[in-house]
Structure 1
Amino acid sequence: MRGDRRRAGQVRFDDAAQVMVEAGLVDVDYVAAQLGTAFDSPEEAARAVVEAGDVSPHPLFEAQWIGRRRSWQRLGQHPALWYVAERRRRNRIAPHPLVDPRIIFAAHPEARHHPYGALSYWLSVSGPGTPLPTRILPRRVSWGTYRAAAIEAAAGWREEVVVQRPELVGPAPALTPVAGSSPAVTVVMAAQDAGPSVHRTVASLQAQTFVDWHLVAVDRGSVDDTAAVLQGMAAFDDRITLVREGRCGEARALNAALEHGTADHVAFLPLGREWLPEMLADLLAHARQTGAACVLAGVGAVGRSRHELLGGRPVDLATALLRRDAVEDVGGFDESLGGAVERDLLLRLTRTSEPVAVDVPVLRRPEPVPVGHGDDWGSVVLERQLVDWEAAAARETSEDLVSHVMPVGPEPRRTVEWLGSVPREGAELILVGVRLRRAHHVLAASIASVISGARFVSVPAAVSMSAATNVGLAQVAGSTVLLVRPEAMPPRQPIAQRLAGVLREEDVATAQPLVVDLDGVVLSAGARFGADNPHPELFLAGLPSSDAVRIGQNAVAAPAAPVVAVRTSTALALRGLDARFHSVLAETDLGLRAEQAGHGHAVVVPDTVITSRTAYARDEELIGALSSLRSTARATPSSPDPAVGLLLRAGLEVTDERQRRVSADLEDRSAPAVLVPQLVVRALDGIHESPPRLRWAVDIAAPAAPRGDRWGDTYFARSLADALERRGQHVAIDRRDARERDSRDHDDVLLVLRGLDRVAPRPGLLNVEWIISHPDMIEPEEVAGFDLVYAASTSWSERMTSAWGTRIEPLLQCTDTRWFHPDRAAPDTGPALLFVGNSRGVYRYAVRSALAIGADLTLHGNDWTEFVEREQIASGGVANEEVGALYASAGVVLNDHHLDMRRDSFASNRLFDAAACGARILSDRIDGLEETFSGLVVPFDNEHELARLVQPPYDAFPDGETRRRIATRIIAEHSFDKRAETLIDDAVRALLARR
């Protein structure tokens, strides 16, 4: 039976290898570089890939890039076979960061019909000089150049990790290939209050010669830093999963770990025990050879047979490998027992079959941990071996260069994003990899090697993120360095030179950007300290970013951010980050030390923004970091807290300061907890000021950046917010994911720019809705919930007011006169026929009609390749500030509307922008065009009319002088400033009437 299973598995492996060869996804040289073995044919290399496990068949295929634990692992397939099996569903999946299927399809539409998908087709038609199909690199890189870099990176990984340091990974184990799930082994760990032994125990697992494992560590409500250390290690190794439980028995914790396992076999590694490097390989080989439900190893008095177990010999699950289905069949660990749960499990497991006993050494003799130290101590010692601070301080640096240092995080996608964002001039990026798996190492090293200004540094020792940062810091070439943690997204606009400029100001040691979450809400504007609490508060956390911008650049007690700028000389003099901090608060400690040493204070620069994918810190992580911060015994700033005065700039006053409890388990009062200060604020009452000043929350349907940056709603909201701000208002723009922020309670007005989403009114605020699009989505009960309602259509407002009984005021769309006016360009010097807009997933009426008549159309916008030829697209989009110049210079501007907007006469924003530039405009027909635009907008009902109207001399339109006069009127009557006046006046009247 077992022989039949092995033969079936071999057939499946041969099938996968053959498909990879047919798809062109086997690069013999690349496979040889990873395995250190020469191959005579692609078929031989493909079989080696399948048998070896974590090996990539091709430089442009990486399973780690297309996701963890996907379908192929559940099905027991090789990822390359899974990728090419169903081309229609997977054609859009990028198998590598430098392969964008959209680019391939745009250049080669026939690639959609290739039996093995986009990458296989591209490889079949490309040569060494063909540019890679990617948008993320700052310059064009040829396929041949990248292939050479990838082969070199793979060989470097093998030389460093496998050959020079075999104790870390070792050669591939000689295991019989068996078709099955990956990972092959789930390693189970129950942890409680054993922080000092975490690092050594897990390091012994990471040093296994067999690497296809998954560690599930269950923390049983530890009161020390056990969970924080495990989480820190998981950040660098995606094979580690931390599961948090409250205080519970060992049996409950082990069962919880088993529930998270997916492998065929289970091993048990208690904290404080260390495996020898061959342990998993040896036991798994025996398990596969025999098919046994239980394999037991060990020496001395440990029980390795049912007779010995029944006779009372001790049980040691750290020397056992069990089949997971067998453990499930007997019901796992008995949680009703007070003890001896391991013996009970093995006795139930061996009731029907004898365990296989093997005589192999599996455990390392335990070594004592120095008193008073633990994992932090180990990082400090390792860092001293890796960093020569004196040599680093003696090296010259360049004032014209800003260096970035970033440890490689658990997700390769984040690393690649930073690599693609490196400016071409004046910046360098140093990536530091810590005991990386092959996929992460090769991706980071190969891509960095083809990008100017990027370098990859590998650290084969297990160190904290702070220590890894120091390794990179010792190698920077710039006089300014940005210390970056992996959770920070690359900035949308360059910030490095701006922060470097702030560091040149007098008495400034560190500078940080404003840190916001994915919804645009502030996570941190630096650290502040209360008078009676040694713990810092994250300044402005939870407030909209507009409040921070209103406050402006300011000094804070210390930085608190995943990106911090510091003079290289200062960082080296302070010997970088303290390795006792795994990640968070390391920069806060650095800032405190810098000020104490006389280097200067910390500054927040709100006009530079970094988005973080995660909260600043998990609760248990913050608790551990605060403990480290207290243990440093460094004095917190003694100067008066400036927070009260700064908040007044944002229209907020401090009413109290309370202590907020941060706990590792809110339901367990005995769980580790700390108190952190928290200011209590309220909005100033500005309605009686002259002019009245209100706080506005402008709600839009656009998603979080950068996807939402392309939405017209976003541009509309920004222009409206600027107009309101020019009239003394405080305005925050909330995209759809930020509309539940708690700090909305400080606002006076919620203004919903109604697009695709229905938004619930906020109790206690003046709720205003402005319907600017999609009127068919509006229902009478929705508008009835708002205090004031406007609509961008005169006829629809009148009709619905009569039908629904709720007053709806007409308030047409408008234009931003800063960017749209007749002086932007000379008339008739630009495109003959112009359309600026995204496809929105449909072949829009105006574009389809223009191309049908063969018009000379200039098209700017996103997502058009599905409908028009690539050469017909002038660009993927134009900055909003530059569109006015195109409108003013065009012969004719095209416009169209959504069906419901056309039916209900909602004039689009594009009409007002183009009209303010004095442009000739052709549009689909809606009511009220003549009354609003006085002949600048001419409707067309069919392609025949369009063909006549687009021909010079444009007799259907007014002459140039008349168009300019009409544009001047449009600017006076339909600007964002005019709309802001209306909104403010109506809001003030409504609030005063309410009071």
Structure 2
Amino acid sequence: MPAPPMKRLRRTLGRARDRAARRPMRPDERRLLASGLFDPWYYGLQVGAALRPGEAAAEFLSSGARAGMLANPFTDFDATGRAPDEIVADLLDGSARAYPVRSLLDDLALVAQTSAAASHRGGPVGFYLEHAHAGAPVPPIGKRSWESFRALRQRQSRALGEVLDSGLFDRAYYESQVGRGFASLPAAAWHYLEVGEVTGLSPHPLFEPAWYRRSCELRGTIAFGHFLRTGQDQGEAGPHFDAAAYLRRHPAASEHPGGPLGHFVATADDTTPTIPRPGGEVPAARWGDVRRAVLDVAQRHGTQARQTAAPSTTWGRWALDQAVPDTAASSDEVAILVDGALWDADCVEALATVMAQDHERWVLHVGVPVGRPVPAAVVHAAATDPRVRPRHVPGTTWADRANALAAGLDQAWASLWNPREHWSPQHLSALLAAADGERGAHAAVVDTGEAPAWHTALALRADRPWQESRGLCGVLLPVSVLQGDAPPFRPEAGDAYAWDLLLRHDVGGPFVPFVAVRGRDLGSPELPPGQRAAGEHVLRAEQVVDWEAAEAGVASRVAGRASALVPTYRDWSYTVVAVARALAGTDSDLEVVVVDNGSAREVAGIVGAVFASDPRVHVHRLPRNTHFATASNVAFAHSTGEFAVFLNNDTEARDGWLAPLLEPLADPAVVGTQPLMLYPDDSIQTAGTVFYGRQLIPGHLLASHPPDDCPPGTSLALRAVTAACAAFRAESVARVRGFDPVFVNGMEDVDLCLRLADPSVPAFRLVAASRVAHHESKSPGRFARSESNRLRFLARWGEQLPGPEADMWRRVGFELVGLPVQKPLPRSERRTAVTPTLARVPAGDESPPAAAPSLRWALKIAAPGGPEGDALPETVLAEEIADRLRELGQVVVVDRHGAHQRPQSDYLDDVTVWLRGTDRAVPLPGATNVLWLRDTTATEASEQSTAGFDLVYSPAEERPLLDRGSALWESDAVLTENARRTGTEPALGHARRLLADVLDVRGIPHGLR
């Protein structure tokens, strides 16, 4: 049997070390060590040996670099795109000191802290390593101290040997995920241990680090090493392999060099069933199907990783920050365009940087909106320097005015300037010196504003949609680009008009390595308080959804099929449950299209693996987060059903959810439907969208009410539905082109409904017979743009919004008696939302005996929400008592665990009845409070306070353990005897006694005894 890879590597390198140790150190080896960029300790970790500096340098130069070994832990050699021999040459001549630095080490902060870091022979990296290894104080590496960082890398080095010796590291699979090859197997495995695991990559198609960590409750890193070191049976390797279950079937697998997983891979063929955890929710699938599914995700991830990666560069931020570019004299004149609407007295300092350009042949064209006076600061600047030329131009937006300015230019080159920009003196001269006649040139830009950013080299045009958006700061353009057949700037691109030009034209030319522009919030338009730029999302959406094709394809969609469209971001756990519940809850023709919104690879990888053998599930991945609207639209474009059902990834559909939801869509007058959306505790999240009038954000009907307030037979006509789960005909969605990406995770659903149907017409339906639980807003950053979305929505629809819809509340049994306005939004100080105040409207069929009033009762039980709690005895008892109380003319709701306190609605309750289980009972001020200690142990009873309760029922033998106070005590047996004596069933007897006692406490006459 051949030796394991790590042993072979050590044997080969050992022979090389022996030869190196017997000769004097060569000049290149000395130069490498003197560079300050070669760390013998770190190199030794990668090759599994403690080496003397000379040995490490000799080995790196002779074979290590070609094998993909790294010279130190902080230089980002991958970002350079350089071949190993080129990297070695740069290390030896010192130019590698300017290389990019990995995000582990903040090079800019280090140079700012001590200028010696910039002058060190190895730059900031060399400075840090020298001081760290000498024991001098050094800044932390991210959140780790140097000592902690060293310890982690040493653990990873030990794990490297285990990984390589196991034979389980799948190099080809890993390279597919990364999007590039590695020079050797050890280099790939080291990359996984250092970078891959923390970024969601996987070493083997059947091993998912996140799944494994959850299954064995492992905290920390190096999950694959833990898996190998503990015999592989401490947790599930992934959705499709449980080593413990496999060993029970194949005990001899424990002797395989690769353990149970290695044995499975060695003996399985494409038709072999996988080994998920017995009794789990993941069905076994054919190994070939699983392998193809995860490999497909890996390859897409690798391709997309290249699209989102920064262009290769040999310049780190610290080096760019200090670089002085090459310049050359030029006679070309440059047109500089600026929006006069932004000009004020505060622009003087920034304008001075334009005036101080080395290249003096420029003209500053100031576009002033027609009808507005030229700002005084512009008048003053023009009087001081004739190169400043104000001009009135038409247009309501800067894009319009910039087009008008560009049309009249007679200069060869153009650059846009924002008065927030401070230009380097070499801005124009350096870019002119390097400019490509057809594409111009560009340089680095540093934005120190609300969202700090470094913009360096532009990506290839095809990849730009997936890069961070940027404006035209630091870009020199040929004027010919601005004077083509079509205007250069599209007003419909909104605040991203400049990025739009970069997406549509192959401009930018070569990158000149220096910082040309600095400033705050560069490229950000002047927006009203509270609003945030959204043009980037609109433009990116244009790149990924072909709506003309979607509209044309409507006719070929599968009749009767529903397509559940599930966007997800940085979550696989909820998503797997959402997809499984949607499929399990219906017998209808349903496909599920999942779109991973640029999460780590593990999200699409795990979801794709779990449903690998289910042809109804399709998993797609976008290169970066496009937010809910665009990801949902992409899912729609990939779907095939006659009906489109938008479904959040944190939902759990209940049995029978789909058919009732689709049934109303047979009526052409019905545009869309939604189920009754519940929280996991069964309280209502929304029974539909309800409007409150002009310039007010609509709200959720019956939010935080118990589900009994909206029984299954309820059907309401609505003006809008929630996209957490909403069904439409696909033709309708295609006709209006889906969600508008200008809304970023908020208000896009109401906007869609208002575009689909006249807001004066209730064209949507609540179908309460369909029920879907919603964990609500589990995606990170869900509410980051809440204020901006509200303001944008009100700007578009505010004057057309109907309401207040008091009739909507009346149809569900409540009178709308007040709409107190909520606190203002934080930035705009607009007050856009109200909280409904309600009163109960007695139902027409309420006819309590002896003219007793109809009260609203809330029965509190410890059973959980959903199917899990439906069949529990306490739920059955509560429902029986509720039904009997309703027969006695009462209004009754049942609150399950987690919904016992409902501040938004429990003020409507007249009576609370706590069927004491495992939850502590808490009385509701203002209500008649009843505590029923059924089947309660003495210890539990003694822990339950009775303060605030008006009636307490308890088993007689426990009575002495409790503080009776003024409460009425009766045992369960007494209640049952009362039912026997009156000839009624126990539940009705309990209900009659409860009602009678409550009426007595409230001082209301009755004839129930």
What's the TM-score, normalizing by structure 2?
0.57
Shift of 1:658: 2.3
Q: Select the residue among 545, 555, 558 that pairs with 1:398.
A: 558
Q: How does 1:764-913 map to 2 (within 5 A)?
A: 764-776=926-938, 777-779=940-942, 782-783=945-946, 785-791=948-954, 793=955, 796=957, 807-812=968-973
1:750 match: 912
Shift of 1:754: 1.0
2:309 match: 168
3-state secondary structure, aligned to 1:659: coil
3-state secondary structure, aligned to 1:596: coil
Answer yes or no: is 1:96 the counterpart of 2:241: no
Shift of 1:612: 2.6
Shift of 1:571: 0.8
Contact 1:138 1:421 in 2 (8 A): no
Q: Distance in 2 between matches of 1:984 and 1:764?
A: 17
Contact 1:419 1:447 in 2 (8 A): no
Contact 1:593 1:634 in 2 (8 A): no
1:293 match: none
Structure 2 letter corresponding to 1:773: D
Q: Select the residue among 787, 811, 832 that pairs with 1:623.
A: 787
1:760 match: 922
Q: How does 1:381-530 map to 2 (within 5 A)?
A: 381-395=539-553, 396-423=556-583, 425-460=588-623, 463-486=626-649, 488-530=650-692
Shift of 1:58: 1.7
Shift of 1:150: 1.4
Shift of 1:82: 4.0
Shift of 1:514: 2.3
Structure 1 letter corresponding to 2:456: L
3-state secondary structure, aligned to 2:203: coil
* Structure 1 residues 229-285: Cα deviation after superposition (integer angstroms, max 9, x where no partner): xxxxxxxxxxxxxxxxxxxxxxxxxxxxxxxxxxxxxx9975364433799xxxxxx
Shift of 1:137: 6.0
Q: Distance in 2 between matches of 1:495 and 1:990?
A: 43
Contact 2:673 2:765 in 1 (8 A): yes
3-state secondary structure, aligned to 2:835: strand
C-alpha distance 712-22 of structure 1, shift in aligned 2 (>3 A): farther
Shift of 1:563: 1.6
Q: Select the residue among 438, 441, 456 that pairs with 1:276.
A: 456
Q: Distance in 2 between matches of 1:693 and 1:401?
A: 46
Structure 1 letter corresponding to 2:545: V
Q: Select the residue among 728, 735, 740 that pairs with 2:896.
A: 735
Q: Distance in 1 between matches of 2:542 and 2:855?
A: 56
Contact 1:577 1:586 in 2 (8 A): yes
Shift of 1:763: 1.9
2:161 match: 18
C-alpha distance 790-671 of structure 1, shift in aligned 2 (>3 A): same
Q: Select the residue among 844, 847, 863 that pairs with 1:702.
A: 863
- Unaligned segments of structure 2, at least 5 residues: 1-37, 49-153, 317-341, 343-445, 460-473, 475-510
Q: Distance in 2 between matches of 1:688 and 1:478?
A: 45
1:538 match: 700
Contact 1:550 1:650 in 2 (8 A): no
Q: How does 1:636-675 map to 2 (within 5 A)?
A: 636-638=800-802, 641-643=804-806, 645-648=807-810, 650-664=812-826, 672-675=829-832
Q: Distance in 1 between matches of 2:759 and 2:963?
A: 72
* Structure 1 residues 571-615: Cα deviation after superposition (integer angstroms, max 9, x where no partner): 111111111111221110111111129996122222323333236
Q: Distance in 2 between matches of 1:123 and 1:523?
A: 47
Identity %: 23
Q: Distance in 1 between matches of 2:676 and 2:703?
A: 10
Q: Which moved more, 1:609-618 or 1:562-571?
A: 609-618
Structure 1 letter corresponding to 2:772: I
3-state secondary structure, aligned to 2:885: helix
1:690 match: 848
Answer yes or no: is 1:7 the counterpart of 2:44: yes
Contact 1:72 1:78 in 2 (8 A): no
3-state secondary structure, aligned to 1:736: coil
Q: Distance in 1 between matches of 2:745 and 2:855?
A: 40
RMSD: 5.0
- Structure index of larger Rg: 2
Q: Distance in 2 between matches of 1:80 and 1:526?
A: 47
Structure 2 letter corresponding to 1:732: V
Q: How does 1:527-606 map to 2 (within 5 A)?
A: 527-549=689-711, 552-596=714-758, 601-606=763-768
Contact 1:535 1:675 in 2 (8 A): yes
C-alpha distance 762-549 of structure 1, shift in aligned 2 (>3 A): same
Q: Distance in 2 between matches of 1:705 and 1:452?
A: 28
Contact 2:304 2:623 in 1 (8 A): yes
C-alpha distance 441-755 of structure 1, shift in aligned 2 (>3 A): closer
3-state secondary structure, aligned to 1:577: coil
3-state secondary structure, aligned to 1:739: coil
Shift of 1:707: 5.5
Structure 2 letter corresponding to 1:756: T
C-alpha distance 536-688 of structure 1, shift in aligned 2 (>3 A): closer
Q: Distance in 1 between matches of 2:994 and 2:249?
A: 49
Shift of 1:141: 1.1
Q: Distance in 2 between matches of 1:122 and 1:720?
A: 56
Q: Which moved more, 1:983-992 or 1:718-727?
A: 718-727
Structure 1 letter corresponding to 2:541: E
2:874 match: 713
Q: Distance in 2 between matches of 1:86 and 1:971?
A: 67
Q: How does 1:318-333 map to 2 (within 5 A)?
A: none
Shift of 1:529: 2.1
Q: Distance in 1 between matches of 2:242 and 2:41?
A: 42
Contact 1:432 1:472 in 2 (8 A): yes
Q: Which moved more, 1:99-108 or 1:654-663?
A: 99-108
Shift of 1:115: 13
Contact 2:942 2:962 in 1 (8 A): no
Contact 1:526 1:604 in 2 (8 A): yes
Structure 1 letter corresponding to 2:706: P
3-state secondary structure, aligned to 2:671: strand
3-state secondary structure, aligned to 2:639: coil
* Structure 1 residues 342-381: Cα deviation after superposition (integer angstroms, max 9, x where no partner): xxxxxxxxxxxxxxxxx99476979956787974222222
1:49 match: 192
C-alpha distance 410-808 of structure 1, shift in aligned 2 (>3 A): same
Shift of 1:767: 1.3
Q: Distance in 2 between matches of 1:612 and 1:813?
A: 41
3-state secondary structure, aligned to 2:833: strand
Shift of 1:651: 4.3
Q: Distance in 2 between matches of 1:810 and 1:716?
A: 16
Q: Distance in 2 between matches of 1:628 and 1:586?
A: 10
Q: Distance in 1 between matches of 2:259 and 2:879?
A: 42
C-alpha distance 112-658 of structure 1, shift in aligned 2 (>3 A): farther
Shift of 1:22: 6.3
Shift of 1:101: 8.3
3-state secondary structure, aligned to 1:407: strand
Shift of 1:979: 3.0
Q: Distance in 2 between matches of 1:110 and 1:969?
A: 66
Q: Distance in 2 between matches of 1:96 and 1:628?
A: 44
Q: Distance in 1 between matches of 2:982 and 2:619?
A: 54
Answer yes or no: is 1:145 the counterpart of 2:286: no
How many residues end up aligned between the 2 structures? 661
- Unaligned segments of structure 1, at least 5 residues: 176-193, 195-266, 280-298, 300-358, 665-669, 815-906, 908-930, 933-967
* Structure 1 residues 926-980: Cα deviation after superposition (integer angstroms, max 9, x where no partner): xxxxx99xxxxxxxxxxxxxxxxxxxxxxxxxxxxxxxxxxx9999865534433
Q: Which moved more, 1:534-543 or 1:120-129?
A: 120-129
What's the TM-score, normalizing by structure 1?
0.57
Structure 2 letter corresponding to 1:730: V
Shift of 1:494: 3.9
Q: Distance in 1 between matches of 2:312 and 2:703?
A: 49
